[in-house]
Amino acid sequence: MLAQGFRVTANPTELGRVRTAVICAPTPRGADGGPDLGQVETAARTLAARLRPHTTVILESPVPPGTTEGPLLRLLESGSGLRAGRDFHLAHSPSRVDPGNRDFTPANTPKVIGGLTPACTESAAAFYGRITDKVVRARGTREAETVQLLETNFRHVNIALVNEMAALCHDLGIDLWDVLRCAETKPFGFQAFRPGPGVGGHAVPQDLTAHAGRTLRMAELAQDVNGRMPRYVVQRAAALLNEHGKSARGARVLLLGITYKADLADQQGSPAREIAVRLMELGASVSYHDPHVPSWNVLDRPVPRADSLYEAAAEADLTILLQQHRTYDLQGLSVKAQLLLDTRGATPTGAAHRL
């Protein structure tokens, strides 16, 4: 990209020179549970003050349906004096980036585009056609926005189902991981999802509550189930310690992998923080190891970082694998650790206690 002339700048005056502006501002969960559009609105105001005729503006941030042709359009028009669909092009394209995925990149992942007008769609398609192999045209901006709503909630609902299955199978003495291994051999009607300590990342599950006066009941239930997983992990941890004659109070607990996704440094929405807080509330002495996170604060105080992974695992009363970074030798770790709780099902069968 640099060889082709790409430049990074934080100077807003540069916006007056661009032909295409893509807004990728984050929309974290707000106090009401819905997405906070504050950063999108700030970006829109900054762009509007310098917006030129014939510019193409594309929103990629996850937003409630209607945001592009509603609040965003109004901010751009009022700040620029230009009219969307006539003086400049406006479109939405849901972000389908999977950070760290080496198989699916922006180039080979189809890009969905929905414009305010057919001309807006074609202008955005011409832009994305230069960087992706396939462009999929949606009927409009609202349809394109709802694509991300559906894709994100599809993931959360299925993760919630398998998370509930994990707790049920543990209570019944059933090996869920063997169940999944067998189930995913079905060539139709099934897609395998894996349980975990919680769901993180930037594309928080959303519903239509604020926009349409109704809820997606399945999405609400899924969020409730997934939101309880950090508490369930701590309950399992305390039970394991108790089974081995130890109390959670005063126990040395090592957390492995505190990012929301493997092999990344991003901690957005990671369940590790809540798990650490709950363990501390039980009186446990918590430390962590993560090759991507040099320092970590919880409850406004630093959490000790283990320098030597295997020594720390050998000394800890309990080691909890929260994220399976590629650098972790899980076979060796399972041998060194006194007690290992694997929340990802990544360790060899029988080598650890699995979620």
| pLDDT tens readout for residues 247-299 | 999 999 999 999 999 999 999 889 999 999 999 999 999 999 999 999 999 99
pLDDT at residue 193 above 90? yes
User: Does CATH number 2.40.50.100 belong to domain 12-144?
Assistant: no
The SS3 assignment for 298 reads strand
Token code pair at residue 223: 């969020």
Q: Tell me what the pLDDT averaged over the chain comes to.
A: 93
221 phi/psi in degrees, rounded to 5: -65, -40
pTM of the model: 0.89
Q: What is the predicted pLDDT for the residue at 206?
A: 53
Chain region(s) in the chain for CATH 3.40.50.720: 12-144, 228-354
Does residue 213 or residue 352 have the better pLDDT?
352
The pLDDT confidence band at residue 30, using thresholds 50, 70 and 90, is confident
Please report how many Cα atoms fall inside a 13 Å half-sphere around the Cα of residue 35, on the Cβ side.
22
Residue 212's pLDDT is what? 54
Residue 161 CA to residue 76 CA, distance in Å, equals 41
213 band by pLDDT with thresholds 50, 70 and 90: low
CA distances to 33, 93, 94, 217, 347 from 208, rounded to whole Å, are 12, 18, 16, 10, 39
Q: What number is the average pLDDT over the span 169-194? A: 96
Who has greater pLDDT, 333 or 208?
333
What does the block give as tokens for 266? 């991003």
Angle between helices 73-80 and 38-48 (to 10 degrees): 30
CA distance 140 to 55: 18
Which range (30-34, 43-47, 86-90) has the least confidence? Answer: 30-34
Nearest residue to 306 (alpha-carbon basis) of 334, 337, 275, 335? 337
Q: For the beta carbon of residue 283, count every other beta carbon within 10 angstroms.
A: 11
* Residue 35 scores a pLDDT above 90: no
pLDDT at 202: 61
Q: Within 13 A of 322's CA, how many CA atoms are on the CB side?
A: 32
Give me the pLDDT at residue 208, please. 47
The class of domain 228-354 in CATH terms is: alpha beta
- How far is CA 77 from each of CA 85, 87, 173, 290, rounded to the nearest angstrom? 11, 10, 61, 46
Using one digit for the tens of pLDDT, what is the confidence trace for 99-123? 888 899 889 999 999 999 999 999 9
